[in-house]
Chain A
């Protein structure tokens, strides 16, 4: 990460606190406080950053993850996969074997990139192609199974992974969700970007 990005991240986490907030807080404490409002604000900003660091280091995958995970098998037909995604309003689903081991993952992106005769990167690209060609590209994957389009090998995190480690994994790999596995490598949950937003401050 470059220094500029690091600085942006810092400013993002600056506490939303004004000089008058500090001044009013100081007035609420009886007695003379031997510190200027400016210094107090600076102390507060540093303490806030330490608190964020501590929380990011103490929240673990098992605290954040969704435990009831929809899963599919490698031979699940894609029309069923699409149905699972649609009816549960989710955008990705892990592919597991009989021992709950994660074989791969299928997301909307995987559908997009296997539809039609060229590789689309987004749903909008597929829609644009459909409109221009007046046909449905979904026909090309109609008879295929999960294993034909799943992303594999799949990136997973251990249930002990910290919030910081998870956000790094999501950001570095540009993915929206990551399956959580236990020490035996078995699926125990899934952490999505939405889960992280939910615990954010």
Chain B
């Protein structure tokens, strides 16, 4: 078995084509969902909670919006994954920071890798969860001060608001339905 032979390098050429482009109405409804979902979270964060020390917004929700409004059939975009992915990953991120923060690069790496593993174990794989875990480490003093509240709020609560918007918006057009499964 050689590396240059018909195995290792050949695999890098790819074997299939990109999936078809979605229809215009799909694009419009995806846009609408993402706009309303992020609006809801951002409005609560910037207007309602303004002045309080509570926070609802997380960078990783941008990634969640792509999945739960733009790829709504994906197993990665289902409610179980959306909520579970953010809550479990948030918890892992906080724990990793608390345990390893004298060594930030280690805390960051452990957080993301362990969050990924836990999401696999719990069948809640949700890519933005990796960001949620990372933000718990690199998010600065404001995030660190939340401690183990972070996986509940903003991570869990923000995800629930996005889920409610997804349920409301994704089921309006005839051609869409959400979710594929709950449990």
Q: Which residues of A contact B (CB under 8 A)?
A: 19, 23, 26-27, 30-39, 41
Contacts and interface: CB of A to CB of B under 8 A. Distances in A.
Nearest to A27: B20
Contacts of A26: 19-20
B73 to A, nearest CB: 5
A126 B26 CA distance: 72
Contacts of B171: none
Contact of B16 (A19, A31, A33): A19
A31 B21 CA distance: 9
A111 B35 CA distance: 83
A23 B175 CA distance: 19
9 contacts: A19-B16, A26-B19, A32-B19, A32-B22, A32-B71, A34-B75, A36-B17, A39-B16, A41-B16
Nearest to B21: A27
B131 to A, nearest CB: 18
Contacts of B74: 32, 34
A36 to B, nearest CB: 5
Contacts of A31: 22, 26, 71-73, 175-176
A27 B18 CA distance: 12
Given A31-B72, A32-B73, A37 B176 contact: no
